[in-house]
Chains A and B, each alone.
Chain A
Amino acid sequence: QVTLKESGPVLVKPTETLTLTCTVSGFSLSNARMGVSWIRQPPGKALEWLAHIFSNDEKSYSTSLKSRLTISKDTSKSQVVLTMTNMDPVDTATYYCARTGTTYYYYYMDVWGKGTTVTVSS
């Protein structure tokens, strides 16, 4: 059974750096053409794609947040880490990680974690 679980702080202060960890099970981060994406959702708002990383270490970021985001993986620990610098109250959201797979070059997020809620406040 494939599962993903997000972990990290519930509360961060403005200007601090947020570090979130996605721990996966049921698949390997070294599986060909497979990766993990991060997505967030502010309260009452739409989904926002943040970043992804694949087994070949290919990475991509949201254009608007690129300067603040770093994604990395530790295959031996089955973990993907997302860091976001200079946090602001507008970054308050539920943060999800999701397995990203492919079929004939069609990418999709087929298994999601339950999400972790992060509040940015002093």
Chain B
Amino acid sequence: DIQMTQSPSSLSASVGDRVTITCRASQSISSYLNWYQQKPGKAPKLLIYAASSLQSGVPSRFSGSGSGTDFTLTISSLQPEDFATYYCQQSYSTPRVFGPGTKVDIK
């Protein structure tokens, strides 16, 4: 199975900050990488697929980049509604493993 790691596991940031989350795959997955946002008590929400394609309706302050084994999710200017946990997921092969998550909270 492909293993996914994320860093950091948590971070504290302020509204307006630029935030970057890193995801790494244990082998090359080309651009087969998704990002999800999850708020407490809610189902996850798809933000980005194919490493850099913004899902319809997702604000443009979210962006994704990377290919191969290293990927990043960037929030250009953190908003109050962005405090949540973010998960990456590889879609290169089955099983479609998720990363362990990165919790973004208020500084």
Interface size on B, residues (CB 8 A): 25
Q: In whole angstroms, what is the CA distance A114 to B99 when docked? A: 21
Cβ-defined contact, A48 with B98, below 8 A:
yes
Query: Inter-chain contact count A-B, CB under 8 Å?
Result: 68
B interface: dominant SS = loop
Residues of A within 8 A of B44 (CB): 39, 47, 96, 98, 109, 112
The residue on A at minimum CB distance from B98 is: A47
Cβ-defined contact, B46 with A108, below 8 A:
yes
Cβ-defined contact, B46 with A60, below 8 A:
no
Q: Using a CB-CB cutoff of 8 Å, which residues 21-61 of chain B contact chain A? A: 31-32, 34, 36, 38, 43-46, 49-50, 53, 55
A→B interface (CB under 8 Å)? 37, 39, 46-49, 52, 60-63, 96, 98, 103-104, 106-110, 112-115
